[in-house]
Amino acid sequence: MIIQNPDYVDIVSNLILASKYLVIFTGAGISTESGLSDFRGKNGVWTRRDKGLPPARSKHFDEVQPNEGHNFMVQLQEMGLLKFLISQNVDNLHLKSGIQPERIAELHGNYTIMKCVECDTRYSRKEIGWERENHGRGFRMESPQDNQPFCPECHGRIINSVVNFNDPMPSKEMELARDHSMKCDLMIVIGSSLVVTPAANFPKIAKGKGAKLIIINIDSTPLDNLADIKLDVKAGDFLSNVLKRIKNIKEIEPI
Ligand code: APR
C-alpha cells in the first residue's frame, strides 16, 4: 500500500485550479485499474515477454470499462479545467468515459476506429462495414485483402487506425498534441513510462515552453528529474482524492 502524502493531494489540486491551460498526457498505466495490462510495468506485456513469460491474463478492450482515473479527466473537462488530452492508448476508454472527441489526440490510434490511408477520413467499423472475421485486423503493415471495404469518400485503402511500431505517426494528432503542449502552463503525465518517442517528447516540449510538469507513475521514468512533482502512486486512488479536494475547494469558493 503506497502511503499517500495528503499534502500532494492539496498541492496538485491547487496547481490544477490555478492553471490557465491544463493538458493531460496518458499511457497504458491509466487503464491497468480497468483490468488491462500495461507494457513495461512490473507485469507488463513487454516485461513478461522479455522474461520469457506468457502474457498475463488481461481482459479484452471490449470487456473493460473506464475507471476513476478516466472519470477524473471527464470531470475536469466538465468543470472547464481540462483543455486537452494527449493519449498513447488505443483502448478507447477515454472516449468511452465521455471525453469529447475534439478534446483528445490518440497518438497511437484507437482500436475501434478505421481510417483511409489516402484522405485520412475516420470511420467506425460499423460505418464502413468492417468485420474482423471476414476482413482481418486491417493493420497498415498487413497486405490488403480484395474483400476489404474501401473509402466511400475517395476509394482509398481502409486500415485500422492503430499505429504499430514502424508505422508513420498520424499527422493530425501529432499537430494537435504539439500545439496544445506548446500552449499549456501545466502538463500532468499519468501512467506512462515515457520511453516511446515521438509521444514522450510532448511533456519535454511543454516543460521547455515553461509549463509545470507533474508525473504520476508507479515506476520511474526518464523525465522524473525534469518534473516539478513526481508521484509514485496508483493513479486511480490519488486522482479520485484530488477530484474530491477540487470539488471541496470550488464549493467554498466565493461566488
Ligand atoms: N497508477 C500509476 N502508474 C501505473 C499504474 C497505475 N495504476 N499502472 C501502471 N502504471 C505505470 C507503470 O509503472 C508504467 O511505468 O504506467 C506505466 C506504463 O508504461 P508502459 O507500459 O510503457 O505504457 P506506455 O507508456 O503507454 O507505452 C507507450 O509503448 O508499446 C508501446 O504503443 C505502445 O502506446 C504504447 C507505448
pLDDT at 6 over 60: no
d(CA 128, CA 89): 23
d(CA 67, CA 64): 9
pLDDT bracket for residue 251 (50, 70, 90): confident
Output phi, psi for 85, to 5 deg: -125, 125
Which structural domains are found in the chain, ordered by start? 2-110+169-252 (3.40.50.1220), 112-161 (no CATH)
Cell numbers for 177, please give them.
498534441
Pocket of ligand 1 contains residue 37 by CB under 6 Å? no
Confidence at residue 166, expressed as pLDDT on a 0 to 100 scale: 92
Reported as a single tens digit per residue, the pLDDT across 109-128 is 999 999 999 999 999 999 99
In this structure, the residue with its CA closest to atom 14 of ligand 1 is 41
pLDDT at 254 over 70: no
State the pairing for strand pair 122-124/113-116. antiparallel
Pocket of ligand 1 contains residue 34 by CB under 6 Å? no
Distance of CA 146 to the CA centre of its chain: 34
Find the angle CA(27)-CA(48)-CA(46) to the nearest 5 degrees. 40
d(CA 118, CA 182): 29
pLDDT above 90 covers what percent of the chain? Answer: 93
Confidence at residue 192, expressed as pLDDT on a 0 to 100 scale: 98
pLDDT at 162 over 80: yes
How far is the CA of 74 from the CAs of 33, 58, 118, 149, 235, in angstroms? Answer: 16, 25, 33, 34, 15
In this structure, the residue with its CA closest to atom 12 of ligand 1 is 41
Average the pLDDT over 221-234 and give the result: 97
Cell numbers for 214, please give them.
507533474
Pocket of ligand 1 contains residue 27 by CB under 6 Å? yes
Out of 217, 234, 241, mutate this one to test ligand 1's pocket (max ligand atoms within 8 Å of CB): namely 217
Distance, CA 147 to ligand 1 centroid (Å)? 36
Return the residue matching grid coordinates 469558493: 253
Cell numbers for 17, please give them.
485550479
Q: For the residues of the chain, what is the DSSP string, one character each?
A: -PPP-HHHHHHHHHHHHH-SSEEEEE-GGGTGGGT---SSSTT-HHHHHHTTPPPPP---GGG----HHHHHHHHHHHTT-EEEEEE---S-HHHHHT--GGGEEETT--TTEEEETTT--EEEHHHHT--HHHH----TTSPPPTTS-B-TTT-PBEEESPPPTTSPPPHHHHHHHHHHHHH-SEEEEES----STTTTHHHHHHHHTT-EEEEE-SS--TTTTT-SEEE-S-HHHHHHHHHHHHHHHHHTS--
Reported as a single tens digit per residue, the pLDDT across 173-218 is 999 999 999 999 999 999 999 999 999 999 999 999 999 999 999 9
Distance, CA 44 to ligand 1 centroid (Å)? 8
pLDDT at 1 over 70: no
In this structure, the residue with its CA closest to atom 4 of ligand 1 is 29
Output phi, psi for 56, to 5 deg: -70, 155
d(CA 35, CA 23): 25
pLDDT at 5 over 60: no
The amino acid at residue 171 is: S
Pocket of ligand 1 contains residue 33 by CB under 6 Å? yes
Average the pLDDT over 132-138 and give the result: 95
Distance, CA 198 to ligand 1 centroid (Å)? 15
How far is the CA of 144 from the CAs of 24, 27, 137, 168, in angstroms? Answer: 36, 30, 10, 17
Pocket of ligand 1 contains residue 108 by CB under 6 Å? yes
- The atom of ligand 1 lying closest to the CA of 46 is 30
Pocket of ligand 1 contains residue 44 by CB under 6 Å? yes
Mean pLDDT of the chain: 95
Question: Known catalytic residues?
Answer: 108
Confidence at residue 58, expressed as pLDDT on a 0 to 100 scale: 82
Average the pLDDT over 64-69 and give the result: 98
pLDDT at 4 over 60: no
Distance, CA 2 to ligand 1 centroid (Å)? 18
